[in-house]
């Protein structure tokens, strides 16, 4: 058994971490923190936890920080900028850190400061952080002490592009044109649990809108994934546009790509199937079968479908996931499993919820 703590356990990713880790056979949740709910039992805030967790939230004071240093792993389900202030003390104490915010995602300090409007407090520690996509970074995660859990949109984008960029690198010729269009939609829970006029029932129900039209902070994370994680030998120009849809949870990213003449000669369905063969949480659907968000709800699964139109020279990649699970808390648990040499699927095999 390993000892885990969750800092910031009152948001949607925090409750998902509690739900998943409470059922994990190798983990004991020994500490929950919340500045706003200190002294309150978790099951008072989330009645779904009655009979599952009787833990009481603690404030993030000196005594709590000392207790965190005795844990094996600390999850930060906090706003951007919190984890980087605590990470050095924790890692020096031998604690492994998984941050679900953006503090350890972007290796470019300029990009981080531009998109998150704050200065990074531990740039040297950032250099040692591992980007938490197990399907790409499994070997590095096994040795990591700090993990930057990916953003929800970048998870769908990078995994949706991986077989294409890998094949293009292997062939050493352009198989796709330089421009990639990612048209993505997310449920309202992706915006967090805080009160906001734009997110209340009357504003979101029976409504559909785009946001981040002039630029979104997940764009540099997607570009980093293409350039560094996938090590693309060819420059790619990404147009990323997210949308808010009137559902609680779920994410659907449609990736539109123009094929070169050489690209039309590739059986992309087969490439995706081969690329993800053996990956427990990535399901490449059969030709002609297309995903919906309900098929992954509350699970750590990500489903992908391919539509190839050689007459038009077009390739469409359809990717769905639960933004709170594979897009956040579930992926964090998957990363933890790799970091502690557990079976990667441990605690994550629950089937999607339908309806």
pLDDT in tens, 303-319: 999 999 999 999 999 99
Q: How confident is the model over 177-215, as pLDDT tens digits?
A: 999 999 999 999 988 887 787 788 888 899 999 999 999
What is the structure's pLDDT at 197?
79
Q: How many CB atoms lie within 10 A of CB 338?
A: 22
Helices (H), 142-291: 152-171, 201-204, 219-224, 268-275
What is the structure's pLDDT at 200?
84
What is this structure's pTM?
Answer: 0.96
Q: Could you say which residues of the chain have pLDDT below 50?
A: none
What is the structure's pLDDT at 60?
82
Distances (CA, A) of 295 to 278, 290, 291, 299, 346: 20, 10, 7, 9, 21
Give dist(CA 208, CA 190) in Å, integer. 14
Instruction: Locate the DSSP E strands across the chain.
Output: 2-7, 27-33, 57-58, 73-76, 96-99, 130-131, 146-148, 176-186, 209-210, 237-244, 251-259, 282-284, 302-309, 314-321
User: Which one of the listed residues 152, 161, 328, 348 is annotated catalytic?
Assistant: 152
User: Does 122 participate in catalysis according to the annotation?
Assistant: no
What is the structure's pLDDT at 180?
98
What is the structure's pLDDT at 36?
86
């Amino acid at each position: 058994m390993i000892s885990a703590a969750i800092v910031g356990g009152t948001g949607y990713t925090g409750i998902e971490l509690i739900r998943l880790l409470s059922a994990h056979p190798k983990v004991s949740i020994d500490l929950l923190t919340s500045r706003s709910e200190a002294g309150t039992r978790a099951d008072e805030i989330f009645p779904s936890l009655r009979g599952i967790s009787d833990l009481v939230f603690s404030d993030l004071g000196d005594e709590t920080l000392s207790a965190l240093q005795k844990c094996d792993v600390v999850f930060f389900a906090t706003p951007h900028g919190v984890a980087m202030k605590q990470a050095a003390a924790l890692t020096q104490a031998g604690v492994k850190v998984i941050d679900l915010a953006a503090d350890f995602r972007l290796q470019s300090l300029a990009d981080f400061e531009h998109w998150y409007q704050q200065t990074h407090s531990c740039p040297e520690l950032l250099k040692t952080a591992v980007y938490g996509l197990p399907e790409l970074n499994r070997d590095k995660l096994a040795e990591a002490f700090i993990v930057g859990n990916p953003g929800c949109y970048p998870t769908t984008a990078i995994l949706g592009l991986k077989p294409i960029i890998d094949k293009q690198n292997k062939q050493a010729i352009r198989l796709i044109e330089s421009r990639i269009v990612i048209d993505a939609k997310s449920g309202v829970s992706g915006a967090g649990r805080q009160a906001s006029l734009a997110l209340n029932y009357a504003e979101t129900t029976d409504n559909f809108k785009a946001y981040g039209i002039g630029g979104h902070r997940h764009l540099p994370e997607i570009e980093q994934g293409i350039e560094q994680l996938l090590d693309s030998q060819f420059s790619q120009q990404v147009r990323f546009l997210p949308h808010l849809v009137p559902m609680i949870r779920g994410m659907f990213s449609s990736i539109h790509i123009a094929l070169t003449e050489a690209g039309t000669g590739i059986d992309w369905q087969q490439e995706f199937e081969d690329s993800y063969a053996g990956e427990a949480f990535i399901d490449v659907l059969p030709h002609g079968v297309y995903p919906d968000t309900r098929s992954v709800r509350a699970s750590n699964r990500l489903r992908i479908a391919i539509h190839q139109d050689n007459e038009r020279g077009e390739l469409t990649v359809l990717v769905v996931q639960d933004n709170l699970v594979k897009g956040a808390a579930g992926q964090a648990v998957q990363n933890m499993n790799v970091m502690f040499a557990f079976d990667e699927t441990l605690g994550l095999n629950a089937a999607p919820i339908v309806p």
